[in-house]
Structure 1
Amino acid sequence: MTPYQSLDRSVAGKTVLITGAASGMGRATAHLFAREGANVMATDMNGDGVAAVAAEIKEAGFANVASIALDVSDHDAIKASVAATVEQFGGLDILINNAGFARLAHPSEEAYEEIWEDSVAVMLTAHQRLIRAALPHLMKTETGGRIVNIASTEGLGATPLNGPYVAVKHGVIGLTRAMAVDLGRDGITCNAICPGPIDTAINASIPDDHKVIYAKRRVPLRRYGIPEEVANITLSCCLPAASYLNGAIIPVDGGMSIKNA
């Protein structure tokens, strides 16, 4: 009988670049990876905000973090952020594509076109550009590079007035599957997380009582999730032991996506 093989469940010493890290799930992910011993490059178009997150992490006793202001719709800035990460930490092992936003519009509205273009630029085109910029470094990782794209349960269905976001998140799932197939031969895995209703700034304008009603009606766990719950699933996808998880689309939604009524 083959002996039990103990697999590495630590990201200590690995280097991770996280986009959209100034708040919400990105912030929680930066905190978690730093606490697990990874070198963290936290990026966000809100430079002051992401610098504050890096300062929080350092104040908590984890010095292995740096931050960069990054507009992911800027191709040159993407390349520069990857280069700065490698210069700061000596390599790049993990990429977390988390940056995003949500803006509602009906297809008949004038704003729809602008929202569409911005959504594609920030939440789809930027993902593939970051992956391609990081690829030469991910290919050098001894235990295999890791890519995690933050999609959404909107990539598994659709809700009204959210067309650009829905289309883009479906695209992120497609991109994840394509990259998993193309990069698997190099030992690089690519997986997607699909958060459901998570308590972040994106839905801060929704009254709390409406959130309670929605969660009790739609979510089997009867509550919104918190960013740290998503961050922990993201971390799990990046462990050396997760080397055979590739092309997975993982809902983190309290069971919402499997509930019929």
Structure 2
Amino acid sequence: MIMTEDIRSIAGKTAIVTGAASGMGCATARLFAQQGAKVALTDLDQAACDRAAEAIRAEGARGEVLPLAFNVADHEAIRRVIAEVANRLGGIDIIVNNAGIVGFASIDDPENYEKQWQRCIDVMITPHQRIIREALPHLRRSEAARIVNIASTEGLGATPGDSPYVAVKHAVVGLTRALAVDLGPEGITVNCICPGAIHTGMTDDIPDGKKETFARRRVALRRYGRPEEVAQMTLSLVLPAASYLTGAVIPVDGGLTIRNA
């Protein structure tokens, strides 16, 4: 491959980002649009999608932003949205499976545990494969098809009381590796990012003091990360230049997973 300027750019590419009304998803949609990509910004609530899209446009996005609300747990909604994005934005080149929920549940609380287990599966693993499968006809027509699944450092280890979430994030890592093998012969790359402690809506309820203590004790960089820092890694993985990177599982965690004590 000749290294030309255009292979370091996603301008003109079409991307779908789930869970993009806030947090890491919104930061990713913003960065992609700033880079000139056409971005389908999706989440559960249309008003939240509209607000996020308007804010991105107001910041001077070079690419089109299409806000679309749908529930990733709804298979029919996935089919509808994939078709609409391909029709309105002209194909699909990039999928970022980012939508997520909190999954804490005690193994000794059978009712809540079963509920959380099923919710985690319904939101954070089954939709990933469905979105990818529905988008495959379009990805196969792309010159640089890229899939990025957002897992977690919980997909590399475990936290007490979090087994539904942990199990599903391990499954995301497994799905990434398996599909990288399946789709590799077609040049479609599939990679996975495992964010660590990041300032998002999921961590808003943690008191600042506890965040600071955790970061000092567990994170090599001694701080929580920002959604924009995860988005930058996602951008790197979807560039046309990233053509020989697939099946990678990349922690973006400030060194959380490398510390022994």
| TM bucket normalised to smaller | over 0.9
Structure 1 partner of 2:104: 104
Matches within 5 A, 1:17-56: 17-56=16-55
Instruction: Report the CA distance between 1:6 and its aligned residue.
Output: 1.3
Offset at residue 238 of structure 1 (A): 0.2
Tell me which residue corresponds to 1:220.
Answer: 220
Structure-1 residue corresponding to 2:241: 241
TM-score by length of 1: 0.97
**Cα distance between partner residues in 1 of 2:208 and 2:189:** 38
Task: Provide the rounded CA distance (Å) in 2 between the counterparts of 1:257 and 1:73.
Answer: 30
Does the 8 A contact of 2:18 with 2:99 survive in 1?
A: yes
Q: CA deviation at 1:197?
A: 0.2
1:88 corresponds to: 88
Where has structure 1 moved over 4 Å in runs of 4 or more? none
- The structural deviation recorded for 1:103 is 3.1
Please tell me the residue identity of whatever aligns with 2:213: I
Give 1:116 deviation, angstroms: 0.4
**C-alpha distance in 2 between matches for 1:117 and 1:133:** 22
Aligned to 2:67: 67
| TM-score of the aligned structures, taking structure 2 as reference length | 0.97
Identity %: 56
> AA paired with 1:174?
G
Structure 1 spans left out of the alignment, 5+ residues = none
> Which residue is 1:5 aligned to?
2
**Partner in structure 1 of residue 125 of structure 2:** 124
Q: How many residues align?
A: 257
Instruction: Identify which range, 43-52 or 206-215, moves more after superposition.
Output: 43-52
Q: Deviations over 1:72-92 (max 9, x none)?
A: 000000011111111111110
Deviation at 1:47, TM superposition (A): 1.8
Does residue 259 of structure 1 match 2:256? Answer: no
Q: What is the aligned-residue RMSD (CA, Å)?
A: 1.0
Match of 2:137 in 1: 136
Cα distance in 1, alignment partners of residues 2 and 41 from structure 2: 34
Residue 124 of structure 1 deviates from its aligned partner by 0.3
How far apart in 2 are the matches of 1:65 and 1:115?
33
Q: Which amino acid aligns with 1:124?
A: I
Unaligned residue ranges in structure 2 (runs of 5+): none
Per-residue displacement from partner, 1:190-238 (whole Å, max 9, x unpaired)?
A: 0000000000010111000110000000001000000000000000000
Aligned partners of 2:179 and 2:185: how far apart in 1?
A: 11
Query: Does 1:114 find its partner at 2:111?
Result: no
SS at match of 2:73: coil
